[in-house]
Structure 1
Amino acid sequence: MIFIRYESFRKYLKFYPVTSLLLLANIVMFIIMSFDGGSTNGATLVKYGAMYNDYQFATEYWRYFTAMFLHIGFEHLLFNCFALFVFAPPLERLLGSWQYGIFYLVSGLFGNVISELMASETHLSAGASGAIYGIYGAYLFIVLLQRSLLDPPSRQTIYMLLVMGLVYSFVVTGINIWAHLGGLLAGFVLYGFIRKLRL
């Protein structure tokens, strides 16, 4: 099972430097917002770069990037950081740190763009979910087309994770389903593209 984390703190930092930096960025931004109005405060979220599809922010495209490092409430941060901590490391080792870093950011950006394009009403959005679903998309590609890279328990974990994640996305209110689906699609396609370049 590749998703069991057994490394010491020092080895985790050494083996997965990009994942460690992403976790740190999420936590630091959450702390900063907590001391400046709170992470559930709409004005604070907009100030620090959450996506807000109101007309006056329509050309602030940098929000597609900054929103990936902001979270709305501690539970939101906890769930995304847990997913990143557990599921991202094997992909970082597989792709290499710099390609993984690009992969993560592009998946998140695509998820956020799709989210904005599909929005039917004004809403505020933030979180790493699009990028994390990009990681899940890469694993979906591996499960379907590179089965030998994963042991059976890891494959079962991916199937269960995707089913539960998609059900959760549709059932629970306030979830940005389009960011999840956009990130998943981006991760699947991007991983396939990277794999083809390596052949």
Structure 2
Amino acid sequence: MQREHDVERSAVEELALRDVGVADPNIHWREIFNKYDVDQNGRISLRELRTLIDSGGCGTDIPRHVVKAILKKADLDNSGHLDLEEFIIMVHQTENQNYFSHLTQKYVKFVVPSRRGVQYVDATDGQYEEQYTCWPPAICMIIVSVIEFILFMIDAFVDHPKGTGPIATKLIYNPYKRFEAWRFLTYMFVHIGSVHLVVNLIVQLLLGIPLEMVHKWWRVLLIYLAGVVAGSLGTSITDPTVFLAGASGGVYALITAHLATLFINWKEIEYAAIQLIVFLCIVGTDVGTAVYNRYFLDLEENIGYVAHLAGAIAGLLVGIGVLRNLEVQSWEKYLWWCAVVTYFFIMAVAVLLNIFWTDHFPYRPDYK
């Protein structure tokens, strides 16, 4: 029985070491083990195990009694400590992956490779990045983009590519036909010129497909549509005589959805701080350009800035509400409630104003 047990444990050890791509598994796993065996007695105690878990990025989120439970389950001989073989089995148990896999991958990737003559397989950087999948295919935003392209081309073929074709006039947001409620959504299918169309399609594909690969199509579509509707509602209140066309509200919702996923998955995303800086630079450049053109150059641009802003706010709030949160922290539950309540409150106010504030909106019964 003891020999069979030893053979089984050796097989587990070899499999675990092969998974991280270490050429000489026994030596390098012992180095990982020895790094946290502070007193160098060949065993990891409860205190050393706690240090191991904390160094994996878990901080103090794991209570002491949970660490004790992990130790008890992994301690196969009930000695109160972990030897090398027990340590290898523990870090590869499915229920312990969140605690140990990221730590051991980082150690192998950044510490052990300094030795010559050893070959390694690169590991996934973060828990969030591990969620990327091509199945089911991320085709939702592709389908939306194809529909927008086809509708634009239909009007272009009848020589009306600038929002005046038969399809565009039925779908565009027209402030004089606000009673046709579908226009608050369908204006996303109307684009004024090919440049307007191409820019929106490129951006929404580049932003939407990566989100779909992690969060699934229906969440991304919900955020996109929320941004579109928020853009038209916000524009109708602040600029009641403005026509609205294009999917920019949805595009900006996708932009801030990436910010939302950074907030709720900060610890699980590798280089989250760098991504945040890049995001702030992009948004800052866009906002700064808009302000400079509007107030310093005094340019007359047919750009719905309010739709952009409203779509961005909707994308952030809805993103926090519906996007996947890989490890929910206690404070994130409060954030979720704040985002959901704030979004529905703002949308309810906007809808009620559009329904009952009739004096604010233009009225032209002869308008066609």
Question: Do the aligned residues in 1 keep the contact of 2:191 with 2:245 (CA within 8 Å)?
Answer: yes
Tell me the equivalent position of 2:282.
161
Please state how far the C-alpha of 1:177 moved relative to its aligned partner: 0.5
Match status 1:133 vs 2:261:
no
Match status 1:77 vs 2:171:
no
Tell me the equivalent position of 1:176.
304
Structure (1/2) with the larger helix percentage: 1
Q: Pick from 64, 79, 102: which aligns with 2:184? A: 64
Question: Do the aligned residues in 2 keep the contact of 1:140 with 1:158 (CA within 8 Å)?
Answer: yes
Query: Residue type matched to 2:287 in 1?
Result: L
CA distance in 2, matches of 1:23, 1:12: 19
Distance 1:135 1:16, change over 3 A: same
Match status 1:90 vs 2:210:
yes
Cα deviations across residues 106-134 of structure 1 (Å, max 9, x unaligned)? Answer: 221112111111114x2321101000111
Please state how far the C-alpha of 1:181 moved relative to its aligned partner: 0.5
Distance 1:88 1:150, change over 3 A: farther
CA distance in 2, matches of 1:146, 1:13: 22
Distance 1:27 1:168, change over 3 A: farther
Distance 1:181 1:162, change over 3 A: same
Question: Do the aligned residues in 1 keep the contact of 2:151 with 2:167 (CA within 8 Å)?
Answer: no
Query: Residue type matched to 1:76 in 2?
Result: H
Tell me the equivalent position of 2:102.
none
Distance 1:162 1:14, change over 3 A: same
Instruction: Let me know the Cα RMSD of the aligned residues.
Output: 2.7
Match status 1:116 vs 2:244:
no
Aligned residues: 186
CA distance in 2, matches of 1:190, 1:84: 17
Query: Residue type matched to 2:304 in 1?
Result: N
Structure number, greater radius of gyration: 2
Residue ranges of structure 1 left out of the alignment (5+ in a row) = 1-10
CA distance in 1, matches of 2:242, 2:158: 21
Please state how far the C-alpha of 1:12 moved relative to its aligned partner: 8.0
Question: Do the aligned residues in 2 keep the contact of 1:130 with 1:180 (CA within 8 Å)?
Answer: yes
Query: Residue type matched to 1:80 in 2?
Result: N
Cα deviations across residues 76-128 of structure 1 (Å, max 9, x unaligned)? Answer: 011101101211111112221122212211221112111111114x2321101
Q: TM-score, normalised by structure 1?
A: 0.81
Larger relative contact order, structure 1 or 2 (CA cutoff 8 Å, min sep 6): 1
Tell me the equivalent position of 1:25.
147
Q: Pick from 172, 189, 204: which aligns with 1:50? A: 172
Q: TM-score, normalised by structure 2?
A: 0.46
Please state how far the C-alpha of 1:13 moved relative to its aligned partner: 10
